Amino acid sequence: VKDLRTVIVHLDRRTAEAMPVDGGIREASVGGAAVNLALIERHGREAIVFGAGPLTGTLAPASALLIGSFRPGAASGPAAQAAPSQSIRHVPLLVTAGPDFRCSGIDHLVILGTAERPTLLHLDGGRVLFVDPPPQPDGMSLRTSLRRTAPPFRSAILTGKSADAGAAFASVSIDAKGSLDKVNLAGAMAAKNLRGLLLGGTGGVAFAADDLRRSLEIAGKVKTLRKKGLGFDPFVRAAGGGDSLKSLKGARIQEAACFHCPAPCMAHARFAWSDPRRPQGEKREESVLLMDHSGWIALAQRRPGTALPLLAESIRLGLDPVAVASLLPAVGEGGLSFDIDLLAALAQGTGPSQSGSSMVAALIFGGSPILAGTGDESRRRAALALVLGLCPIFLQRFPETAGDLAAFHPDIPTASLDRAAEGILARG
Ligand code: SF4
């Protein structure tokens, strides 16, 4: 049984210590979200645990996943409050978060206590450094400011203004690109005075001699399947958002993928818009990553003409775009200026509220119905991806590749994986 590199952080004492995870947890839980769950059970329900799976950062396809797990509390908003009190939520963090976390020399990070003042954690070489948030000159993002002042980092997982203000629909942002956090992981971090993780990522992840060949074979298989139409546009259409593609008219679109994913399902959009807050509505160029498909579809259905700037503004403020879309009035009579003001109010925790009932369906997978899929088999597949450290969207899109994955983890028996996945589903 390979040792898991686990670090326990006490924010109140500003201490961090490496703790061996006993073989019992490892054997019973295998990895990823299942080990996160076991660590929350061991260290108490106030713990937030970030964890990678055994395949995170390896040459397995779509091995981009880091998982943030926590038990929703009072600060978690209506969607999370509607969940059973013992439920544990697992928020999938993609793009480069998983490999950079693992290359920082840590498999699981357990965060306990509450910091006396706002704090960030810088991880690298298996070590944790406590970093004070730097001053933010007007208009400068926290990330830009950190780039200038903090030790070097490859990726950052940051809370935003919304989480700081205790807003109910706060969402973490990976490198200022947004995320799939729909259950207020950002709020749970903010309640601990934790502003974010900075991932140094200067280490590496071991792989077996045959993994590169296996990886190329799977990429070839996926290429054939993608020819049948499995990129950003077809994926959005399949998710019921075909109309949303019209809202991209005039934008420059480029498909985008997470770390080591052979099948981009995201898109990068560059667009120009008139910002009503600027003198004479001066035009500005902007770009946004369409990572959160359900957020994009919801905003484009609500505001077809202004979905791109509203998405960019939601991400900037650290708000979940699905919640934003549901809170915008059905008829946008006040125009973009009114909508932007409403987003600002939401980010301050003073906007309209919303019942959680419409949002609880797929909370276990960070609140995204796209990740959860439909039916028992797709829920099981998503849970398996969270155990292994692979992107659940990839496994939902290409279930044909599931059988090829076993070769990347020859030491993990199938029965153990099934048990670990079942454990996650049982605590959803
Ligand atoms: S399937 Fe999409 S979300 Fe998943 S790893 Fe690939 S590009 Fe990222």
Q: How far apart are CA 161 and CA 142, in angstroms?
A: 10
Q: Where are the alpha helices (DSSP H) in 66-160?
A: 77-81, 97-102, 142-149
Query: Quick one: pLDDT at residue 157?
Result: 98
Q: What is the pLDDT of residue 77?
A: 52
* Residue 236 φ then ψ, to 5°: -65, -40
Nearest to 112 by CA among 193, 207, 184: 193
Pocket test for ligand 1, best of 67, 215, 218, 266 (most atoms within 8 A of CB): 266
Helix (H, G, I), strand (E, B) or coil at 145: helix
pLDDT of residue 368: 59
Q: Is the pLDDT at 142 greater than 50, yes or no?
A: yes
Q: Is the pLDDT of residue 359 over 50?
A: no
CA of 224 to the centre of ligand 1 (A): 17
CA nearest to 166, candidates 352, 349, 350: 349
Residue 162 vs residues 99, 132, 272: alpha-carbon distances, Å = 27, 19, 25
Any idea which residue has 């369906």 for tokens?
361
Q: Is the CB of 64 under 6 A from ligand 1?
A: yes
Instruction: Single out the residue of 426, 295, 422, 403 nearest to residue 61, CA to CA.
Output: 403
pLDDT tens for 226-283 read: 766 668 888 888 888 899 999 999 999 999 999 999 999 999 999 999 988 887 777 8
Q: How far apart are CA 55 and CA 73, in angstroms?
A: 30
- Here the contacts of 223-228 (C-beta below 8 Å, separation 24 or greater) are 223/262, 225/398, 225/400, 226/263
Point out the least confidently predicted range of 198-202, 343-347, 398-402: 398-402
62 lines ligand 1 (CB under 6 A): yes
- CA 77 to chain CA centroid, Å, is 17
Whose Cα sits closest to atom 8 in ligand 1?
A: 258
Which atom of ligand 1 approaches the CA of 264 most closely? 7
Residue 50 C-alpha to ligand 1 middle, in angstroms? 19
Residue 342 scores a pLDDT above 70: yes
**pTM over 0.85, yes/no:** yes
Which three-class secondary structure state does DSSP give residue 324? helix
- Give the E-state strand segments of 248-369 in sequence order: 252-256, 266-274, 283-290
Q: Which helix (H) or strand (E) holds 129?
A: strand 127-131
Report how far residue 39's alpha carbon sits from residue 88's, in angstroms, rounded to the nearest whole number.
11
- Which tokens in the block code for residue 255? 């498909």
Q: What count of other Cβ atoms lies within 10 Å of the Cβ of residue 362?
A: 21
Ligand 1 test: best mutation among 56, 91, 93, 94, most atoms within 8 Å of CB?
Answer: 94
Number of the ligand 1 atom closest to the C-alpha atom of 263: 6
| Ligand 1 within 6 A of CB of 261 | yes
Q: Is the model's pLDDT at 352 over the cut of 80?
A: no
SS3 state at 73: coil
Axis crossing angle, helix 32-43 with helix 375-388, rounded to the nearest 10: 80
Specify the 3-state DSSP secondary structure of 181. Answer: coil
Interior CA angle at 169 toward 301 and 94, to 5°?
Answer: 80
- The pLDDT-based confidence of 354 (bands split at 50, 70, 90) is low
Of residues 332 and 254, the one with the higher pLDDT is 254
357: tokens are 């009932």
Q: Is the CB of 4 under 6 A from ligand 1?
A: no
Residue 126 DSSP one-character state: T
Beta-sheet strands, E only, within 138-251: 155-158, 173-174, 194-199
What is the pLDDT confidence band of residue 371, given thresholds at 50, 70 and 90? low
**pLDDT greater than 60 at residue 393:** yes
336 and 344 Cβ atoms separated by less than 8 Å = no
Region 10-21: what's the mean pLDDT? Answer: 92
Ligand 1 atom closest to the CA of 391, numbered from 1: 4
CA–CA distances in Å: residue 91 to residues 9, 32, 80, 182, 191 = 20, 11, 12, 8, 17
pLDDT digit string, tens, across residues 147-187: 999 999 999 999 999 999 999 889 999 999 999 998 899 99
Q: What mean pLDDT comes out for the span 174-201?
A: 95
Residue 75 has pLDDT above 90, yes or no: no
Can you tell me the distance from the alpha carbon of 21 to that of 266, in angstroms, rounded to the nearest whole number?
Answer: 36
Ligand 1 close to Cβ of residue 236 (< 6 A)? no
Amino acid identity, position 337: S
Axis crossing angle, helix 414-426 with helix 375-388, rounded to the nearest 10:
110
CA 262 to ligand 1 center in whole angstroms: 8
The per-residue pLDDT for range 79-109, each reduced to its tens digit, is 444 455 568 889 999 999 999 999 999 999 9
Q: Rounded to whole angstroms, how far apart are CA atoms 121 and 128? A: 6
**Residue 315 pLDDT exceeds 90:** yes
* 220 or 138, higher pLDDT: 220
Q: What is the DSSP letter of 69?
A: E
For a pocket test of ligand 1, which of 66, 371, 393, 400 has the largest count of ligand atoms closer than 8 A to its C-beta?
Answer: 393
- Does the C-beta of 235 come closer than 6 Å to ligand 1? no
Closest Cα to atom 1, ligand 1: which residue?
Answer: 394
| pLDDT digits 0-9 by tens, 28-62 | 788 999 999 999 999 998 999 999 999 999 999 99
Directed axis angle between helix 307-317 and helix 293-302, to 10°?
130
Percent of the chain with pLDDT over 90: 64
CA pair distance 308, 251, nearest whole angstrom: 9
